[in-house]
Amino acid sequence: MKSKTFEVIRILEDTYPNAHCALTNENPFQLLIATILSAQCTDERVNIVTQTLFKKYKTPLDFTLVPIEELEHDIYSTGFYKAKARNIQMCCSQLIERFGGEIPQTMEELHSLSGVGRKTANVVLGNAFGKNEGVTVDTHVTRICNLLGIVSSTNPEKIERELMEIVPQEKWTIFTHLIISHGRAVCIARRPKCSECVLSALCPSSKV
């Protein structure tokens, strides 16, 4: 399975040389907030919201000083806005109280923040700090890795463990971006373009 996974990565790296994190951000703090907002929401929608949001709120303190109803209004279109607003305010308070307003750079510390699960922590560590602590498992990764037959689960934690065994650690962060790029361009959930897929020869689910 490792050799097949290496070949998948090689092909996708050739196909999507510019694969990168789709969440627009200028610093680790913005990436953290954007990733919290991205739960059950498209990256495109988050980027629309943060374009205005990050002009209004520049620091953790800014987020803590605003009435929560106002913050809810500002992020309303990302969905689950009440929970997200609450988590963002609590997270920002914790950043100030425990980390001097800076974004921590370990899985354990990030995971201790409100609204920050392992997936969010992986995104921040990998993309803001270049630390490959794990593999970010989103819906694209779940679906496509199952179609390719390199994992056999729909449980994100189990999928991550399986991928960490077969994907080289230095590729953990980029692997997710490659899979997402392929999912958006070719392996589309409801209408996969199997005839155009560079992975069709490796994919047991291919309809070619």
Task: Say if pTM beats, i.e. exceeds, 0.85.
Answer: yes
Catalytic residue status for 138: yes
DSSP string, 32-62: HHHHHHTTTS-HHHHHHHHHHHHHH--SHHH
Q: Tens digit of pLDDT for each residue in 77-88?
A: 999 999 999 999
pLDDT mean over 8-22: 98
Whether the per-residue pLDDT at 1 is higher than 90: the answer is: no
Tell me what pLDDT residue 111 has: 95
Q: Which domains does the chain have, with CATH numbers?
A: 2-18+136-202 (1.10.1670.10), 28-128 (1.10.340.30)
Whether the per-residue pLDDT at 107 is higher than 90: the answer is: yes
Q: Indicate which residue of 138, 158, 193, 207 is catalytic.
A: 138
CB within 8 A of 167, min separation 6: which ones? 5, 9, 135, 175
pLDDT mean over 21-45: 97
Q: Indicate which residue of 43, 74, 84, 119 is catalytic.
A: 119
Average pLDDT over all residues of the chain: 97
Whether the per-residue pLDDT at 208 is higher than 90: the answer is: no
Catalytic residue status for 14: no
pLDDT mean over 69-82: 98
CA dist., res. 154 & res. 169, Å (int): 22
Whether the per-residue pLDDT at 179 is higher than 90: the answer is: yes
Tell me what pLDDT residue 203 has: 97
